[in-house]
Amino acid sequence: MNLIALLWSTLVTPMRQWISTLLYCIRPAHLARLALALFILWAIRPPHVLVVLGPPQQVVTTNPIVGLHTRLTDEVEEWKIQRTLRMVRELGIPWIVEYFPWPYIEPVEGELTWGHSDAVIKHAENQGLIVIARLGWVPAWARPDPQGKRNEQETTLTYLDADHYADFAAFVAAFVARYRGRVNHVIIWNEPNLSFEWGYRPVDPGGYVGLLRAVYPHAHAANPDVIVLAGALAPTLEPEGSAAGLSDLAYLERMYQAGAAPYFDALAAHAYGLTFPPEAPPAPDVINFRRVELLREIMVAYGDGSKPVYVTEAGWNDHPRWASSVRPAQRIEYTIGAYEWARQRWPWCACVAMWAFRYPAPTHSYHDYYTFVTADFEPKVIYLEVQNYAGGIGINP
């Protein structure tokens, strides 16, 4: 014990002497100025924003199936989460799709951190919004070890092999149980018909059905009322054998052939319009908004017509220099037209959620031209026009 005290004294005494010498050399006037400078820096620090829940709200809208993808995944400030969801409610939008990545919630196996998702759900519920939770991605502990003998490089966040389907199913069950009665819609994975979203591997409809088979009973055991959405297929024309993916139409058919029907309650679909108006007729070799109708035909052909379809991504882009964009006025017209087309002509459609309400920060790319408000919450014209539409102001298409 004396030796430890001696060592500590040896280390601390010179430091104490150095500080004393430094303070002795500094004039009192300089110390006062330093103290004043530190006080000013403390006084002008960004204030802590107190976030208080107001009275519970309800969405007022003329179209109960309109929705938006909110993209709060990387929004770290709670007041911005609250403001986002309040603006969605004020827009007249009852449905939101939000992403809750598995590695954000369970970065360490068995240790679940719910702070961010709790905040999103709390404020969505307070604003009277219906949440569709998109679940996916894979934490490092549930991916193959890049140092393993059979793996030469690290896998991506979208790589989930069959050995860890049970782990993902356990995560889904934990999520569904935690938010039972508050979140009753979950999407299992995102765009598995693209190689990028399937871990940069050849796409595998049978493998995706295996994932659904693992997840479905656990989700319903945790919440019997949960609606498990499958698919979330990317609209693409990729042919058989393509390294990039597989046509959404072919992929859905392969899902049914692999026995998917008992393991999902509704289909999630993506319906981007590109340069076509919403009323443009669908065709197998065309990507447009009404391509969803072809997915619906496959469901009916396999005896699954009683299940609803949720359009969980859709929309048009108005970037001035992107080949697949439209003019801003066209984007407004097409967006409102799509909402109205689904309301009037798709009785099997429960929701149409446009991409995307807002990004936490600008991307400085064409992606920014999908948003309804800027990163600093400035409403774009499309926000105001959709607000008028949802509020019954003006002439609907």
Q: 67 vs 154, 189, 320, 379, CA distance in Å?
A: 37, 19, 25, 17
Q: Is the pLDDT of residue 93 over 60?
A: yes
Of 128, 122, 47, 115, nearest to 88 (Cα)?
A: 128
Q: In whole angstroms, what separates CA 326 from the centre of its chain? A: 24
The stretch 217-238 carries a mean pLDDT of 98
Q: Is the pLDDT of residue 266 over 70?
A: yes
Give pLDDT, residue 300. 98
Give pLDDT, residue 41. 64
The stretch 100-111 carries a mean pLDDT of 98
CA dist 374 and 377 (Å) reads 5
pLDDT per residue over 34-47, tens digit each? 667 666 766 666 66
pLDDT per residue over 273-305, tens digit each? 999 999 999 999 999 999 999 999 999 999 999
Of 167, 153, 182, 190, nearest to 73 (Cα)?
A: 190
Q: Are 369 and 317 in contact (CB under 8 A)?
A: yes
Give pLDDT, residue 17. 59
Give pLDDT, residue 154. 87
User: Burial of 280 by CB count in 10 Å (0-12 exposed, 13-18 middle, 19+ buried)?
Assistant: middle
Q: Which two tokens stand for residue 123?
A: 């404020």
Q: Give the confidence band of 50 by pLDDT, cuts at 50, 70, 90.
A: confident
Give pLDDT, residue 33. 75
Average pLDDT, the chain: 91
Q: Is the bond preceding residue 356 a cis peptide, omega within 30 degrees?
A: yes
Q: Is the pLDDT of residue 23 over 90?
A: no
Question: Which residues, at least 6 apart from 145, have a Cβ–Cβ distance to it below 8 Å?
Answer: 151
Q: Is the pLDDT of residue 12 over 60?
A: no
Give pLDDT, residue 263. 98
DSSP 179-224: TTTT--EEEESS-TTBGGGGTSS---HHHHHHHHHHHHHHHHHH-T
Q: 92 vs 64, 79, 269, 300, CA distance in Å?
A: 9, 20, 22, 32
For residue 314, what is the enclosing H or E element?
A: strand 309-315
CA dist 378 and 380 (Å) reads 6
The stretch 352-373 carries a mean pLDDT of 97
Least confident of 135-139, 352-356, 393-397: 393-397
The stretch 11-34 carries a mean pLDDT of 57
Q: Is the pLDDT of residue 226 over 60?
A: yes
CA dist 45 and 49 (Å) reads 12
